[in-house]
Every structure is written in C-alpha cells, then in structure tokens.
Amino acid sequence: MEKEESKREERKIGGYRVSDIICCLGKEKDYLRRFALIEDKRKAYNLAAALCGPYWLIYRIMVVEAIILAVIEYVCLEIIPIVVSVQYLYEMGPRSYYFMQIVCVVLYALIYFPMMGFFADKIYWRRLKGLMDSYQCKEKEKDFQTQAEL
C-alpha cells in the first residue's frame, strides 16, 4: 500500500509532482491527462473553453486573460463592422452594417473556436506552473506546508 502511495507521489508532469498539481486543481483530475498531453507535445482540445471563452477563463481565475479576450471579441464583433460599414455605407446602403457584422462573426468563429479549444489548456497549464514556481515546487521534496498553501 505504501509503495502504491509513493509511486503516485513520485510521478511528475513537466517536472512537477502530481500531488502538487492536484492541490492546485482540486477535484478536477481530468486535467492531469491534458497536462501530460501538453508536456508530450500532443494536441488536447477543450470544448468547454472553446464554447465559453472568457467565462471559462474567469472560472479558472484567469481574469486578465478573460478581459483581453473580451476586448478582442468586442473589437472584432462590434467595432470592425461599424468602421467597415461606414466606409461602404454609400455603396451598399443601410444594410451594410448587418452584412459586415455577419461576415465578422463568421470569420471570428472560424478562427476563435479552434484556437481557444487548442490553446486554453496550455494557458491554464502555464498559469498553474507559474503558481507552483512561486512556491518552488520543482526543487522541493514533498512538503505538506507548501501543499496546504497551494
């Protein structure tokens, strides 16, 4: 039984002990598999992040990234259609804004959903590594005080 415990604690992902990662994640152990895929340079897709975008980032306590993504969404879906439709208002008529908004939504969706799905877990893993690095989890042996602080 003790050997099984020590094997689980000795296992590492990207140089970080799984026990420290679990302390950061809480109950969400599915991310261990995703982080291992990221460290092995393989692809992982996060459908929840792709569909929810900034809300997923806020849920994962990445507020700065969520604000940046929300500003990008606003510019792409509101500002760009207004600027482009004003330019072509005389040629296309009053419906130019709606046409440009539809074009921007389609282009944004074709770019945004695949990118967010593939890169969200990488962003989350980078954030957790930064948190664990602030407690020097890579250099330390198993430390219950550090795990309690995480």
Encode pLDDT of 81-112 as tens digits: 777 777 666 666 667 777 778 888 888 889 98
In DSSP terms, 16 is beta-bridged to: 13
Phi, psi of 143 (to 5 degrees): -135, 115
Q: What is the largest CA-CA distance in the chain?
A: 77
- pLDDT of 20-54, one tens digit each? 788 878 777 788 888 989 999 898 899 999 999 99
pLDDT band at 1 (very low <50, low <70, confident <90, very high): very low
**Can you tell me the distance from the alpha carbon of 117 to that of 115, in angstroms, rounded to the nearest whole number?**
5
> Which pLDDT belongs to residue 145?
53
> Which pLDDT belongs to residue 89?
62
**Can you tell me the distance from the alpha carbon of 147 to that of 38, in angstroms, rounded to the nearest whole number?**
23
**Structural domain count, the chain:** 1
Q: Which long-range contacts (CB under 8 A, 24 or more apart) does 140-148 make?
A: 142/9, 142/17, 142/19, 146/20, 147/19, 147/20, 147/23
pLDDT band at 115 (very low <50, low <70, confident <90, very high): very high
pLDDT band at 141 (very low <50, low <70, confident <90, very high): low
Q: Which amino acid is at 23?
A: C
Phi, psi of 12 (to 5 degrees): -130, 150
For residue 48, what are the domain limits? 2-149
Pairing of strands 16-17, 12-13: antiparallel
> Which pLDDT belongs to residue 8?
46
The Cα-based distances of 127 to 30, 65, 66, 133 in angstroms read: 17, 11, 13, 10
If you average pLDDT over residues 10-18, what whole number do you get?
79
pTM passes above 0.85: no
